[in-house]
Structure 1
């Protein structure tokens, strides 16, 4: 299973996310989070979120698993609020995930 996922935005930019498991300690650093549903040959984006602390990356995980059959959580460190928002909106515009939020920690 790949530990990184490069996901394209509507702008054509590519964003690299790192896979995380719920048991792994996450930094309090701000960033972007995506929940993905993967099988052997493809993946679908279930959630994209901009959060102030990556420690909250699993906040909606149980719902995403139950409702959307999400299989993986990927994070991207990104301290700049403006950049996080820009990247999240770019990804959402291209992939139209069923769950997305800005500032999930507020």
Structure 2
């Protein structure tokens, strides 16, 4: 089993994420995901997102975009069935880490 990585949100809540093995079977479950560069001092979050179905791989487009700038970017996931819980967690992580790709997305959507 992969090593879990704990991320703390702005609220102080802690979330355990697992590195995703991209070629393995993925469950058709709701999940949060972060795209990060792994460093000695811990993961540097570049994007935080959520999906209704991890198996659909809707996260792959964000990962490919991230790898254009961050070649060694990895995806970390956390299963979360309830959309409201996923969204609250995603916002909490964005407020804490201010991922550059989330800032870009906000700037282009306003």
TM over 0.5: yes
TM-score by length of 1: 0.84
Equivalent residues in 2 for 1:36-51, closer than 5 Å: 36-51=36-51
TM-score by length of 2: 0.81
| CA deviation after TM superposition for structure 1 residue 46, in Å | 0.8
| CA deviation after TM superposition for structure 1 residue 87, in Å | 0.3
Return 39-48 or 13-22, whichever deviates more: 39-48
Residues 30, 54 of structure 2: 8 Å contact kept: yes
Partner SS for 1:18: strand
Aligned to 1:104: none
Stretches of 4+ moved more than 2 A in 1? 39-43, 68-71
Return 39-48 or 7-16, whichever deviates more: 39-48
Aligned to 1:4: 4
Instruction: Report how many aligned residue pairs link the two structures.
Output: 100
Change (3 A) 1:42 1:6: closer
* Post-superposition CA distance 1:1-39 (Å, at most 9, x none): x62111000000000011112111111101101011013
* Post-superposition CA distance 1:19-78 (Å, at most 9, x none): 112111111101101011013343200110011111223232111111233421111000
Partner SS for 1:15: strand
The structure with the larger Rg is 2
Partner SS for 2:92: helix
> C-alpha root-mean-square deviation of aligned residues, in Å?
1.7
